[in-house]
Structure 1
């Protein structure tokens, strides 16, 4: 039996999944069905979010944040450490536009206009999790941030990190470097430099977590010795809660970073594809 619109809507709200052909909705062709189905699913998603947050107060301190100034303050040290001076302004401009805070004033438009329905569902749960509201499904991940292409979406909870060595803005911004091509922001592209930064696919999370922690180590420690003591404290605490990150390698990368003149470059070198890392070592020799 084919799905009814009601069943298709329930499935989407429960799992984020939907029939790519929108066969549950009426229409003489695919475009007509997809237009009708897409609108219905987004409308149901927005209604579900509103019903779960009807009596939830959004933190005023977060709502009043100057997104651009806040983002620049967080990511500027990382940009200065990873890019030459002639490229920093363009990269900073990209990141300032890319960090998007999910608030009551922005969430409906984001859910309505985000290109992919699966992304809309993830953003809805990200917003709900940030407010401590019920998620759309028990299986929905309790995210604090989400990166997709050149956009970083942050929930209210991401501004209240529990750990001293956590910074979700830096973490999510670090993912943009391997998602954005240089030519997209007007930087010259070569055969070996297509992306803003060449990050080994298997080490993308390691890179983001290392940048996040190093940002905090650099901010909290006012000397190399101070940063080494902070790293020792971090080692005694919890490691990144991600099975894609090898804890021993992660700590070793940070150990090299805090001892280096430019720790950001050392993190990049350790997380680059083998050919890029080898070329960087030859230049440094």
Structure 2
């Protein structure tokens, strides 16, 4: 093969790749999702694809001392911060509590015990979740612990914090649209939930303002502003993309984790206690 022939083949390959890219882009524009009541259709199965579930702040890869027998499977993957500004603005006493949480991980993490993860954590765990959108309320269904929450879109059904009878694992969600952005105010959050595996925590005074903004047919930007004067010196925000699962047979597989947490919770009460 001559140099000229090789160059011609390479040029043809590049041209073909560009054509395919342009065709795919044009197809994506033609298959833009339908709108529901003039709002973006966000029905589907979504999933975060980063390491926020380990730690919202920047973190290096590291081993978990008690998991040494798992080798690389038991190590923490490094990742960038999804906190706007980089770090979480803890009050001094709350920061000390986070360090105690970390020292006792994984036993101290509520998710270890299969408790529902709470908001915003449920949206960036390493498990998919489904959004079911219709003419009225919007339902979020999570695979982990079979958790779910109803987003009340009717203003007549919006409750204030004082009107919610009890704090809830997944909080109480009031929703509305601002243009193409779904905005959800979440209150009455159970203080026992964490924000990630790194011990980041909150009190029951926490209020979360979520913003789901579609950026294309296949992804949307997720932001959550956390306001908790008992734990943090000021409100702060996380921001990360969520991706729509596109497999033709995509479905939400339930992760019923209770059987896996029972030995941890009740092992000492067995005839032969688990050590």
Q: Same fold (TM over 0.5)?
A: no
The structure that has the greater radius of gyration is 2
- Pick the TM interval, shorter chain: under 0.3
- Higher helix content, 1 or 2: 1
- Higher strand content, 1 or 2: 2
TM-score, with normalisation over the residues of structure 2? 0.21
TM-score, with normalisation over the residues of structure 1? 0.20
Greater relative CO (CA pairs within 8 A, separation 6+): 2
